[in-house]
Amino acid sequence: MNIDLTAMPATIDLLHAGLGAIALVFFILFLVKGGNKTAAPAETQAEMPAAPEAAAKPQPVSQLKSTSPDAALQLLALLQQEARFIDFVQEDLTGFSDADVGAAARVVHEGGQKVLKEYFSLEAVRDEQEESRITLPEGFDATTVRLTGNVVGQAPFNGTLVHRGWKVAEVKLPKLAEGHDTHIVAAAEVEL
């Protein structure tokens, strides 16, 4: 499948605009909530009775790091500033025509694209062309490749590259001033 990413659609239908907005919301929620999971404290783990076979083997302790939601909130603020993202997603679109939604989605798309280009350096995970046949050797990095379809057996796996994937090579978010409240992603505006 070859997709020309430089081609601009004449219109954007409501379904695709909504799907794009929902995907971005889930990404931001993942960034905000995903990093707040921490391992149970040692006291809690010690109180839980271990299964007999588990007691015989030493269990590795999972080390999950705690993250702050500041970077995700900063990204959300930038998307609001440049793309009016929150305004678009919070708007009830049922009374608008597909053409009106498409025009609004174009603003969100252009602003979102500007934020990505300015603050992130993105690279493809795989170098091969999409729709080409590839082989994943034994021990391939499962965090960079998701297997789909009829996944049976063990590597090496032969399949078709459906999507090259994305990875962030560099993040260049602006530095935050001391005491800046990142929870305010768009200040209220009062015209005098």
136 lies in some domain: no
Question: Within a domain: residue 87?
Answer: yes
pLDDT over 60 (residue 41): no
Written as one letter, the residue type at 19 is L
**Does 46 score more than 50 pLDDT?**
no
Over the stretch 72-96, which tens digit does the pLDDT of each residue have?
999 999 999 999 999 999 999 999 9
Contact (Cβ atoms closer than 8 angstroms) between residue 20 and residue 105: yes
> Domain count of the chain?
1
Q: Is residue 139 part of a domain?
A: no
Q: What is the mean pLDDT of residues 33-45?
A: 46
Give the count of beta carbons closer than 10 Å to the beta carbon of residue 88: 23
Whether 169 is in a domain gets the answer: no
- Please report whether residue 112 resides in a domain: yes
* End-to-end CA separation in angstroms for the chain: 54
Coil, helix or strand at residue 44: helix
Q: Residues 159-178: what's their mean pLDDT?
A: 95
Closest Cα partner for 165 from 136, 123, 137?
A: 123
Rounded mean pLDDT of 172-192? 94
Give the up-direction half-sphere exposure of residue 21: CA atoms within 13 A in the CB hemisphere: 26
In a domain, residue 102? The reply is yes
Q: What pLDDT is attached to residue 65?
A: 82
Look at residue 89 and tell me if it is in a domain.
yes
Q: Which residue range is the domain that position 100 belongs to?
A: 10-39+65-124
Asked if the structure places residue 103 within a domain, the reply is: yes
